[in-house]
């Protein structure tokens, strides 16, 4: 029995010694979301040759990721750019503990969808009477709306709490908006024509409303834009139809971490964390993104709207904002 016990202890010790010292956790999102199922596996694959073997951790989204990261100095996290900006503004002391590693891998579109409204200028005009449906209050989209109220208060701060409904998911928010006049669903999504949410909107003949304003395109955090204006396909071309493209603001999917100085200078944890940050920053973008499969094409070209398109859309919004201020 003593020999057996000794063997068991030795095996356990060996197993511990083989556990990579450079193993970290990447906080992502729900298992069906792009952060967990697409972007994190690609990032892990890109880091493998550098001796890092992080694991993708399922979470409830950006706010959960931030809280988990604050409790885990060696972890890293994917966050929705504008949701992170909104949180950082509300929590400046905690935000000082975190650093942005990279925000150029991909971005998500910010979409307003309606049954009968088609123009953001009309949304501005009707803002005190229109209904807005959002995913859960802890969702990235709900944080987007809070950010919109801060950055564009002359429009979104006019929305009364009675005009807002929170639902269990983006899909339910869209269903409600497409079933009722003068109702908008707001959701934030990696533009993928194969996504069921986009398919539903197209099949039910819903309207995508371009969301843009000068203040939104001017918002910066740490010198980086929180929003850009992008034109992205939301429905693929068919035999008798062309692809459907939508222009709207987009927010970067951002990778963040705790500052290296927050890690005790014991063992190799600090140096490994510092190396991880440097490697993610310097590795070519294509090595950290999906290289094959149905999602790879979502990342292989630029989607920035033309300067002419941006100017025209912004001018329309600014004119509408000026009108309601009279």
Q: How big is the CA angle at 313 (ends 310 and 317), to the nearest 5 degrees?
A: 130
Give the model confidence (pLDDT) of 205-251 as tens digits: 999 999 999 999 999 988 889 999 999 888 876 655 667 899 999 99
The single-letter DSSP state of residue 39 is I
Confidence at residue 297, expressed as pLDDT on a 0 to 100 scale: 74
Surface-to-core class of residue 160, CB atoms within 10 Å of its CB (0-12 exposed, 13-18 middle, 19+ buried):
exposed
Answer whether residue 108 shows pLDDT above 50.
yes
Residue 41 domain flag: yes
Q: Provide the residue range defining the domain that includes 28.
A: 23-106+253-299
Of 59, 110, 98, 62, nearest to 83 (Cα)?
A: 62
Q: How far is CA 294 from the centre of its chain?
A: 20
φ/ψ bin of 293: left (φ > 0), alpha (ψ from -120 to 50), beta (otherwise): left
Confidence at residue 294, expressed as pLDDT on a 0 to 100 scale: 74
C-beta of residue 154 within 8 angstroms of C-beta of residue 324: yes
Confidence at residue 315, expressed as pLDDT on a 0 to 100 scale: 96
How many domains, the chain? 2
Residue 7 domain flag: no
Tell me whether strands 224-225 and 220-221 are parallel, antiparallel or unpaired.
Answer: antiparallel
Q: Looking at the structure, do residues 111 and 101 belong to the same domain, yes or no?
A: no
Give the model confidence (pLDDT) of 163-219 as tens digits: 999 999 999 999 999 999 999 999 999 988 889 999 999 999 999 999 999 999 999
Residue 8 domain flag: no
């Amino acid at each position: 029995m003593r020999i057996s016990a000794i063997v068991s202890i030795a095996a356990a010790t060996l197993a511990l010694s083989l556990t990579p010292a450079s193993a970290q956790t990447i906080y992502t999102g729900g298992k069906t979301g792009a952060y967990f199922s697409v972007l994190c596996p690609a990032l892990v694959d890109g880091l493998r040759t550098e001796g890092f073997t992080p694991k993708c951790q399922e979470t409830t989204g950006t706010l959960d990721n931030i809280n988990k990261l604050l409790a885990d100095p060696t972890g890293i996290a994917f966050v929705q750019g504008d949701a992170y900006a909104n949180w950082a503004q509300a929590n400046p002391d905690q935000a000082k503990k975190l650093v942005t590693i990279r925000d150029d891998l991909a971005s998500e579109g910010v979409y307003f969808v309606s049954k009968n409204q088609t123009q953001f200028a009309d949304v501005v005009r009707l803002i005190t009477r229109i209904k807005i449906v959002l995913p859960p209050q802890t969702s990235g989209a709900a944080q987007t709306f809070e950010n919109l109220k801060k950055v564009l208060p002359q429009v979104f701060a006019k929305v009364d709490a009675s005009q807002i409904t929170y639902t269990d998911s983006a899909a339910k928010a869209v269903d409600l908006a497409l079933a009722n006049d003068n109702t908008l669903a707001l959701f934030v999504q990696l533009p993928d024509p194969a996504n069921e949410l986009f398919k539903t909107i197209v099949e039910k003949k819903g309207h995508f409303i371009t969301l843009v304003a000068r203040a939104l395109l001017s918002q910066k955090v740490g010198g980086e834009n929180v929003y850009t204006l992008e034109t992205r396909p939301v429905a693929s071309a068919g035999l008798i139809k062309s692809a459907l493209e939508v222009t709207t603001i987009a927010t970067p999917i951002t990778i963040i971490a705790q500052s290296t100085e927050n890690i005790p200078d014991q063992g190799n944890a600090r140096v490994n964390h510092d190396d991880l940050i440097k490697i993610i920053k310097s590795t070519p973008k294509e090595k950290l993104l999906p290289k094959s499969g149905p999602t790879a094409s979502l990342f292989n070209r630029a989607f920035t709207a033309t300067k002419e398109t941006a100017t025209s859309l912004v001018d329309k919004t600014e004119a509408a904002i000026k009108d309601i201020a009279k």
